[in-house]
Structures are given as structure tokens and as C-alpha cells.
Amino acid sequence: MSLQQDLEKRSGNQCELCTAKQNLSIYEVKPVSTGGFDGSILACEACINQIENPEEVNANHWRCLNDAMWSEFTPVKVVVWRMLHRLKNEGWPTDLLGMMYMEDAELAYAKESGDHLSESEKIIHRDVNGTILQAGDNVVLIKDLKVKGSSMVAKQGTAVRRISLDHENAKYIEGKVGPTQIVIITDYVKKMADKE
């Protein structure tokens, strides 16, 4: 079966957020760490449009989260949690967040987007050229870096794929160089273009 068919079966052929049955497509939950069944939801055009364009959010549309928040599937819960945080100024989403239960790993995944932070709280990571970095981006090292606590040296030009961000320090990102997960200072990386 294809991913689309798997998600249709999981959702009962309806949007996993608002239960609409028209214009359904696969939405990969950012940052796309896995994509696939455990990193995607089946969502309608209206939900996807509002997730991707915060200025077009219609708070009443998202009353559906009252039911969607009880989903057993991680990517659905992650999107619900993010949207409730985005809407918390409405009042009612705060009550739902108080009732919602998520495992630690699910909560960490949900927080990757930074949607739960107000604009003044958001830490913005920038590469050496000032380009904004987001979780899931690919970067390349611009100089040789000695890896703390080992004899390894990460060479200039090494690609680090699907980085994660340190939500407490704008200068730190994490990523894998070979099999080793390392912390990298943003001054020593350049964001790779999507086509690289």
C-alpha cells in the first residue's frame, strides 16, 4: 500500500484534524525527521493552508481540535498541540492544552517548530551569512571543527543534514557528522540550498 492509502485507512478517509472528506492530501509534519506514516497526517486543503499560513487562521475552524487532540497517532497530536498554542489567545485552546496528554518524545517533537513561543521568546538561529536556520535544514561546515571530547575533526565542506535547534541558545545547533551527533556553533555553518 502507498502512504496515501495507509493514511486513508488510519483516518477513515477523512482529515485527521477536522474530519472533512474532500480535498485530502498528505501533510508532512515539520521538521520532517521521518516523513512517512509516523511523520505525516492526512489533512484537508483548509487545514493545511491555515497551518502553513498563520495569517489566514480562522479560530472557529479549529474547534475541531477538541476531538482531534485524543488521536492515538503522534503526528496528529503534534499538529494539534502546535495549533492550540498558536490559538491560545482565544482562551478555549488553553483549556484543551491543559487536558492534553503527550509522551516526552511527542512533546519534544511538537516543540521543534517553536510555535508554542511568543515572538519575543523565539530564539532565531542564523548561519554565517545571516540566513535563518530552521529545524530540519541541511547545512555545510565552512571550516574544520575539532569535536569536543574526541579525536575526530569534522572537515570543512561536510554536509550536516536535518539539524535540530537548541531552544535556549541561538548560537547552537545539533546534527550528525557520520555516526556522531555533535553540537555546532552557527558561525561555522552555511545553509544549503534545497536543491543541493
Residue range 18-34, pLDDT digits in tens: 999 999 999 998 876 56
Q: Closest Cα partner for 68 from 94, 88, 92, 41?
A: 41
pLDDT over 90 percentage in the chain: 48
Q: What is the pLDDT of residue 7?
A: 92
Question: Torsion angle of alpha carbons 168, 171, 175, 180, nearest 10°?
Answer: -100
The better pLDDT of the pair 12, 55 is held by: 12
Structural domains in the chain, CATH included, are: 3-111 (no CATH), 125-191 (2.30.30.40)
Q: What is the pLDDT of residue 52?
A: 87
55: helix, coil or strand?
helix
The yes-or-no verdict on residue 152 having pLDDT over 90 is no
The yes-or-no verdict on residue 121 having pLDDT over 70 is no
- The residue behind cell 570543512 is 156
Q: What is the pLDDT of residue 36?
A: 84
